[in-house]
Amino acid sequence: MRTFPCLAFLFIVCAASAQDATFNGARSLVDQHQYAQALEVLAPMEAAHSGDAQFHYLIGRAALGAGDAEKARAALARSLELNPDSPDAHLALGRAYYALDQYALARDQFEIALRFDGLPPDLLSQVQIYDEAARQSLEEGRSTTAFGYAELGVGVYRVNSTRSTAIFGDGGSDAFYNLRASGGFNHSFENGYAIDGTLDYRHRIYDDSDTRDDRDLRWSIAGSNSFGDNNLALGLRGRVSYRGNGDYRNDVSGFTSYTRNLNTDNQLTLGLDVRRRRYPEGPLRDRSRTTATASVGWSTSLAGGAGSFSLTAHGGRNYATSRPDGESNVFGATASFDYTFNDSLDGFLFVWWERDSFNTDAVHFHPDALDQAVVLRREDNLYEGGAGLIWTFAPKWSLRPELLYIRDQSNSVTFNYSSTEAWINVRRAF
């Protein structure tokens, strides 16, 4: 009488063991990039593993490798529903969205599991960099992934007419040549922890070398943690700038940033940055200051993920300064729009505004007459607007025309400024 239950129990144990062996075999097939064979092994087990996050992850990886991006998307989304704390599932889902040309959705997934600071401004380049890093991580098993690129270009810089140029001169235009080399890395640890760093060198050479000589070296290093649909980062970034005539500027800041995917289409970002800007010597030394800024941003995907729109507000204070106008409160906003026409053509637009309200009364020249002076508190409205087009004309090669407009409007005539810049760069990715 007791023999039958024992045999039934033994049968169940053997069946479970056989199923586990089959499951592990399918995992090995995925690791060996034999995706079609893995799908054949996993398909009969789907009903029995409907609540298993790892099973759906393997189905998604296998489907993605076999070229069925839609099946991969559905399986990986289900895997994250069951286990949202899987960085690999976020990376794989990002790759599935990328394969479906849903670039904004792909970026949102990549940014939960993978961080690169200082990426290019356009959506297409960002997602291409992230996708390659995700491929290195998932298919090659690398814990350290990296990107890099170099650019060369030519452009024109023009100082537009303002009240300041009417009084003090310094207008006109000049041609320039661009050089840029940039790269970064991300190293992943267990449990969603990672460290990332970037290095970015920019040099602009003007035809009239007496006008300006712009050189920037920018760097960043940060640690981050991915948990659920969230990423929290803490780090340092800096910048050493040379503007000719012996004028240097050094920036070092500590920052923290928080990213959360609210749903498939919407992402929330929060940031805090405390930066010290120092002019070591020369006529600009009094402009040294510390700036504390907080920001909140929202981005949403458009056109099924082919485009994105983002809006960010920021506010803070400039303090610890020797400027005659004193300290200042700042607040502003940035709006940007990006649309990927196809896998080789992308366009973007952005506008940025900031208002600086200073706290010290000072004597300034009257805006309309040099022989009159008034006591006032300086107030600045700063504007920037830009647009760009990115055309990938060959693997890893792109042509990038861009336009930038700057307008600084102040009730102190000395600080009124406007310029227009247009350039075209050729980029080679590595």
Q: At 13, is the pLDDT very low, low, confident or very high (cuts 50, 70, 90)?
A: very low
* Residue 425 clears pLDDT 70, i.e. is over it: yes
Give the pair of three-digit tokens for residue 278.
């120092």
* Residue 323 clears pLDDT 90, i.e. is over it: no
Q: Is residue 247 part of a domain?
A: yes
Based on the structure, what is the number of domains in the chain? 1
- Please name the residues in contact with 4: beta carbons below 8 A apart, sequence gap of 6 or more: none
Residue 227 lies in domain: 139-429
* Residue 287 clears pLDDT 60, i.e. is over it: yes
The pLDDT, as a whole number, for residue 244 is 74
Q: Is residue 314 part of a domain?
A: yes
State the alpha helices, DSSP H only, in 315-425: none
The pLDDT, as a whole number, for residue 20 is 63
Secondary structure (DSSP) of 142-185: -SEEEEEEEEEEEEEEEEPP-HHHHHH---EEEEEEEEEEEEEE
Model's pTM, two decimal places? 0.89
Q: Where are the beta strands (DSSP E) in 169-229?
A: 172-188, 193-206, 213-227
**Considering the chain, what percentage of its residues have pLDDT values greater than 90?**
73
* Residue 6 clears pLDDT 60, i.e. is over it: no
Q: Is residue 268 part of a domain?
A: yes
In whole angstroms, what is the distance from residue 243 CA to residue 313 CA?
29
Task: Report the CATH number at residue 397.
Answer: 2.40.160
The pLDDT, as a whole number, for residue 7 is 47
Secondary structure (DSSP) of 321-344: ---TT--EEEEEEEEEEEEEEETT
* Residue 59 clears pLDDT 50, i.e. is over it: yes
Q: Is residue 189 part of a domain?
A: yes
Average pLDDT value for residue range 394-401: 96
SS3 state at 198: strand
| Closest listed residue to residue 118, CA positions, set 129, 133, 108 | 129
The pLDDT, as a whole number, for residue 145 is 96
Q: Is residue 396 part of a domain?
A: yes
Question: Is the CB of residue 56 less than 8 Å from the CB of residue 39?
Answer: no
Q: Is residue 54 part of a domain?
A: no
What mean pLDDT is reported for the chain? 90
The pLDDT, as a whole number, for residue 10 is 44
Least trusted range by pLDDT, from 22-26, 68-72, 209-213, 325-329: 209-213
| pLDDT single digits (tens) 113-170 | 999 988 999 999 999 999 999 999 999 999 999 999 999 999 999 998 887 676 656 6
Q: At 208, is the pLDDT very low, low, confident or very high (cuts 50, 70, 90)?
A: confident
